[in-house]
Amino acid sequence: MHEMSIAAAVVEQVGRVALQRGATAVTTVRLDVGELAGVVPRALDFCFALACEGTALEGAALETRTVPARARCGPCDVEWHPGMPPDLVCPRCGGARAELRAGRELHIRDVEWADRPLHTHG
């Protein structure tokens, strides 16, 4: 299950920071998840709770924010939402030289420690 490996990686990364700062508890972990990342939110929630057991993250809430997909056509510089599955043909010029600019992200936005929040990303 793809979500279990994601949850385990998040717990490992946050746990490493917890050790470095001497934190004993995490209350919330906030993730940005691109809509094209192939993550099932309910499965990630379930796996996160399992991965947290016995760690400084046990009992922590997982909050996810979906990042919408965005594509951009190089030749005509138009941006659009490519849909699902992604349509990377430019709606303006019909060209197929588009790049996916957003929608595949999966990163920790911030962590809230039991004592105070520590922002890890903007």
Give the pLDDT of residue 122: 47
pLDDT cut 70: percent of the chain above it: 93
DSSP string for 17-78: HHHHHT---EEEEEEEEETTS---HHHHHHHHHHHHTTSTTTT-EEEEEEEPPEEEETTT--
Mean pLDDT over residues 26-51, rounded?
96
Architecture per CATH, domain 2-68+103-119, reads as: 2-Layer Sandwich (3.30)
Give the Å distances, CA to CA, from 37 to 18, 48, 96: 27, 17, 21
Between CA 66 and CA 98 the distance in angstroms is 22
Is the pLDDT at 107 greater than 50? The verdict is: yes
Averaged pLDDT of the chain: 91
Which residue ranges make up each domain of the chain? 2-68+103-119, 70-101
Taking only the tens place, the pLDDT of each residue in 73-106 is 999 999 999 988 888 999 999 998 899 999 999 9
Asked whether residue 52 is marked as a ligand-binding residue, the answer is no
pTM, two decimal places: 0.83
20 beta partners: none
pLDDT range class, residue 119, cuts 50, 70, 90:
low
Is the pLDDT at 120 greater than 60? The verdict is: no
Between CA 33 and CA 39 the distance in angstroms is 8
Asked whether residue 73 is marked as a ligand-binding residue, the answer is yes
Asked whether residue 2 is marked as a ligand-binding residue, the answer is yes
Checking phi first, is residue 22 left (phi over 0); if not, alpha (psi -120 to 50) or beta? left
